[in-house]
Structure 1
């Protein structure tokens, strides 16, 4: 009987089919990569959520995000009353700082002090408040002002009174064209028309601009700055030679180091000089001259 068997060399020449095999080590490696990838994306998502919640908390409680502790940060805060302004401020280490308050009347009086009031504070985070309160029922109507810097270890305040006629610009009435009319100083005579100008470089004064700003520590940082100028519609009114006039300014400035005479040792104590109607505070000083 004959059998048809293929030649031996023909059988050997056919390619062998190889099976793709996973080793235990490969399976563990792939599993680890997938697990780490899932954990990374989950952690990234949770981190983004945490950052969003932190930003929401900062906005809700009006907190400063200090990203560079060598800069000054200013955050305007919402206030519950008119004629009141508030800021949260971070002051870096390296020096003490002065919070200056200055105002002018319309027309300006001479001579005028260079700075009406000044608070001196140490580095740190503070809530600075400037507020005016009218007392129309007193024998001589006047404005009460309160400038304060409240921090975790300090509460420095400057209080005083200003005659009502010197702050007539606080009671100006706005007209549809954007001009303002000051209260009249004489019965039967219309009040003076003016235009208020707010420095556009001061972001804290822009409407609804409750965003923190960053400043160099060696520069003066304006918190409030109002300027009065001629009105847009000066019809029926003569121009004034004293306009434009800065009527209100509140700013922060690094305190200049005291000049020390040769052979004298500076006293480490903080001298507090009070020329106003009141001072309450710790870790700071108040200097002011209130009319």
Structure 2
């Protein structure tokens, strides 16, 4: 039995950093949603008990450093599975981009192996396991749109936002999430931004969603990498309804309601950086 599982990218519609935790992580509150830019995992069982990962991009690790590999080993140990698995990952999501590509691959591995190995674990248990691997993995297990709290692992699913186009543009740099959080200076309280975003989505108000976009990490990442600011400015000048950096960066996304604007924005950015994508919001939770 072989299964192909999609691993969609995520964007942060809002990201508030509320304080430093005793465990070294930061307390966050954020609204995340998935977009139709996906990696694909082809998974099949192995009788020899081994876990083998191959990547479409040869420069990416396929060993213990790979989150999908870690997810497979973790699930195998958790459920005492005797079978192994071969996992081939076709990469489409840019690496080190603030789009949770690695976390989504790990979540897809958990969901796919849960099916292939006949484990029948609920999403809640898979998400709990995923939290061991990374803060974004639980959200990617559930998919859709959610308000995330804690260090990002506490997930409250909310309704899908109204449909729109999303332009993604990634400059040719990588950003270390750990380094960005290390440089973060705390403000009094940013909590209202994510609350406002969640309310805008529940009200199905595209206008209020555009008004509520916020990312506390921009204050750290943008001064370090001026090209991100340039992309954001170019997006706005070319006609997006709103623009924001996703996660710790460096990818910037712009929201576009009218398809007539889409080509103009896309072409303006294609002349500025190589990795540009025009995609739709997915928004709906995994079954």
- Give the TM-score normalised by structure 2: 0.23
Higher helix proportion (structure 1 or 2): 2
Higher strand proportion (structure 1 or 2): 1
Higher relative contact order (CA 8 A, sep 6+): 2
